[in-house]
Amino acid sequence: MIVRSLKQGLMKFSRIAWAVVLATGFISCSEREKPDDGKLRIVTTTTMVTDLVKVIGGDRMEIQGLMGAGIDPHSYVPKLGDTALLEKADIIFYSGLHLEGRLQATLEAMEKRGRNVIAVSDGVSPDNLLSPQEGFEGTKDPHFWGDPLMWAEAIAPVVEALAKADPAGAEIYQKRGEAYQKELTDLSTWAAEQVAQIPAERKVLVTSHDAFFYFGRAFGFDVRGLQGVSTAAEAGLQDRSKLVEYLKNQGVPTVFPESSINAKGISAVAAEAGVKVSEESLFSDALGQPGDLETVDGETYDQGTYLGMIKHNVNAIVKGLK
C-alpha cells in the first residue's frame, strides 16, 4: 500500500510539474540550446498532423511527434519528457478543436506567452465544421480529416508557418503544399469511386465512436457511433440499446472497430444485434505504424501515412458493406 501510494503521488507530482513548466516557460538554458544545423525544430501532436507537416517540410526540418500509432489523442496524458521537446521547438503544430483534450490548454498557454504554436484546424472554413451530438455543445467535431478535401484546408497554416520561420524555403513549402493538395483531391475522387460499389441501402457506417461524420458527409454514409465525439464519453445503456435496435432494424451487415479504441464495446453490441464485426479496424484518431504496407487490388500503400489511412479505411468499409 505504501509503495502504491508513493507511485501515485509521484505520478501526480509529475503531471503538475509538467503543466507548470510549460505554462511558465521555466526551463534551463542548456535545454534551450539547439545544434546550429540550419534545420527547423518541429514538434507535432497527433500522427495525422505529423504526417502532414512531414509532407510539406521534407528534409528542411527535424520533426518529433508526441503521439504514436494507436494513441488516442482525446485521452493523451503528456509525459514529463515532452517538456524539453516542446520548449526546444521552433514551431509546434497541433490539430485543435479540442482533439488533444487536456493538452490543448497547455499549448494555448504557450502561444499566449509568445511561442510559435499553430492549430492546423485554423485553416478550415468554420462553415464546413460540424457540430457534434448532444452533450458537446460549444465545440465543433474535431475529426475533419475524415474528408480529404477538408484535410487539404489544413495545408495552408503549415505552409505559412514554415515559410515565415524559414523564408529561404518558402517557395519549396508552397510547391509541396500545392502538390499535396492535388494528391488529396485525387484521393477524394478515388474514395468516391470505391464507395460507389456499396448499394445505397447498405451505406451505413457503425463504429466505436463518432469519428466519421465528416467522412460520412463526404461520401454519403449514415454514420453511427457507440461512444460520442470524444472517447472520454462512455456509452450509456440507453445509447447501447438504441444502437442494437438500429442495427437490427437497418439490417447492417458489418460494424467496424477502431485501431485506437478497445474493440470490446462495439463487439458486444454486434453480438447482441447479431451482426458481423469487421476483421479490419478503421484508423480514426491515429494512423497506422509507419512502414506498415498493405496491398489491395494491386495497389500498395503505407498505413502510417494519411493517404494510406484513408485508402485502408475505404477498402475495409467497401469490403464489409458491399
The answer, yes or no, to whether residue 17 has pLDDT greater than 50, is no
The answer, yes or no, to whether residue 134 has pLDDT greater than 70, is no
pLDDT score recorded for residue 35 = 47
Distance between CA 39 and CA 19 in Å, rounded?
28
Distance between CA 64 and CA 95 in Å, rounded?
15
Q: What are phi and psi of 55, to 5 degrees?
A: -60, -45
Tell me the pLDDT band of 238, cut-offs 50, 70 and 90: low
Tell me the pLDDT band of 192, cut-offs 50, 70 and 90: very high
Q: In a 3-state reduction of DSSP, which class is residue 254?
A: strand
pLDDT score recorded for residue 136 = 54
**Strands in the chain per DSSP E:** 40-44, 61-65, 91-94, 117-119, 204-209, 222-227, 254-255, 276-277, 293-296, 299-302
pLDDT score recorded for residue 210 = 83
With residue 268 as reference, give the H or E element that holds it.
Answer: helix 264-273
Tell me the longest C-alpha to C-alpha distance in the chain.
64
Cell numbers describing residue 308:
494510406
pLDDT digits (tens, 9 = 90+) for 25-75: 433 333 444 446 789 999 999 999 999 999 999 999 999 999 999 898 988
For the chain, give the mean pLDDT: 86
pLDDT score recorded for residue 137 = 61
Cell numbers describing residue 95:
490539430
Tell me the pLDDT band of 133, cut-offs 50, 70 and 90: low
List all residues 6 or more positions away from 129 whose beta carbon is below 8 Å from its beta carbon.
97, 140, 141, 144
pLDDT score recorded for residue 160 = 98
Q: Say if strands 293-296 and 299-302 run parallel, antiparallel, or are unpaired.
A: antiparallel
The answer, yes or no, to whether residue 12 has pLDDT greater than 70, is no
With residue 19 as reference, give the H or E element that holds it.
Answer: helix 2-24
pLDDT digits (tens, 9 = 90+) for 66-105: 999 989 898 898 888 898 899 999 999 999 999 998 899 9
pLDDT score recorded for residue 88 = 94
The answer, yes or no, to whether residue 260 has pLDDT greater than 90, is no
Q: Are 32 and 88 in contact (CB under 8 A)?
A: yes
* Higher-scoring residue by pLDDT: 138, 44: 44
Mean pLDDT value across residues 272-300:
95
List all residues 6 or more positions away from 285 whose beta carbon is below 8 Å from its beta carbon.
46, 72, 73, 74, 99, 143, 211, 231, 258, 260
DSSP state of 108: H
Entry pTM = 0.86
Cell numbers describing residue 25:
516557460
Mean pLDDT value across residues 110-139:
87
pLDDT digits (tens, 9 = 90+) for 155-165: 999 999 999 99
DSSP state of 282: B
The answer, yes or no, to whether residue 8 has pLDDT greater than 50, is no
Distance between CA 194 and CA 22 in Å, rounded?
45
- Cross-strand bridge partners of residue 62: 41
Mean pLDDT value across residues 234-262:
81
pLDDT score recorded for residue 208 = 85
DSSP state of 167: G
Domains belonging to the chain, first-starting first, are: 2-184 (3.40.50.1980), 194-321 (3.40.50.1980)
Dihedral sign (CA 196, 198, 202, 207): negative
Lowest-confidence region among 96-100, 226-230, 253-257, 295-299: 226-230
Residues in the chain: 322
The answer, yes or no, to whether residue 241 has pLDDT greater than 90, is no
